[in-house]
Amino acid sequence: MKDLKVNLSGWELDNPIIPASGTFGFGYEFAELYDINILGSFSFKGTTKDPRFGNPTPRIAECNMGMINSVGLQNPGVEKVISEELPKMRKVFNKKVVANVSGFSVDEYVYTCEKIDKEPDVGIIEVNISCPNVHNGGMAFGTSCENAAAVTKAVKAVTTKPVYIKLSPNVTDIVSIAKACEEAGADGISMINTLLGMRVDLRTKKPVVANKMGGFSGSAILPVALRMVYQVYEAVNIPIIGMGGVSCAEDVIEMMLCGATAVQVGAANLVNPYACRDIIEDLPRVMEKYKIEKLSDIIGGAH
């Protein structure tokens, strides 16, 4: 019997598989397809202080081996998430979830995290300082050590639950930013968010996405994600939730060998809604193939 359990800041997960924020909604649409309680957990849709309609359409552009999205954090705002979305989610998912939070000022992060922290369904707060889709400030927090540390420190001051900071790959030195978050009190790191990309429509000779650029995700970015997780694992002493281009059980093993304790699956859910279920079911076979008895034993094994 293979042991798939992992531990994130004292929270034991049945397995390391977590659908990534923005690709799984609040879970209940996927619950119509399969029993989502097989998941380790899931990271729910990025939540902000106020409701957001998001960016203008079109918001999606297809690419070889991936996609570009510029949704712009469309969500009903934290009050409605707590009063409407979480009760609906509770009916289909009986484990704790990862709450993904975004903001456009330190005060907004503090307000939203303080509210979310009181919810018993939340196991970890994942603070997104890296969304590349939003004009006023979304990038700035994740691209400087000072700003990343300021958000981390402010959020930690009003929360009791583990806080994981979600980092942007669109930087020169992701290691220094991860270290700044750790020094400011982060309990863990989530990485990586999407790369910045674009496509041009040859017929109109204009960018495909209304926002011109968007977040590039999908299996093409896996090598970049692996490299960054590997580098950050060498530099920090807090757990990493790894993500970026993961689409099969082998990718999960590779991500954990680089240093991830748990692994989020994003764009693959949009291609195949059963992706996470299939990965979980396939993990024992892949573990057998590579002579792995216990997944937690391989974390950072490539170092």
Q: Which residues belong to the active site?
A: 131
Q: What is the CA radius of gyration of the chain?
A: 18
Q: Detail the DSSP E strand segments found in 181-281.
A: 188-191, 195-197, 200-201, 206-207, 214-217, 240-242, 262-265
C-alpha closest to that of 236 among 298, 171, 174:
174
Q: Which strand (E) or helix (H) includes residue 17? A: strand 17-19
d(CA 8, CA 26) in angstroms, rounded, equals: 21
Amino acid at 70: S
d(CA 22, CA 265) in angstroms, rounded, equals: 11
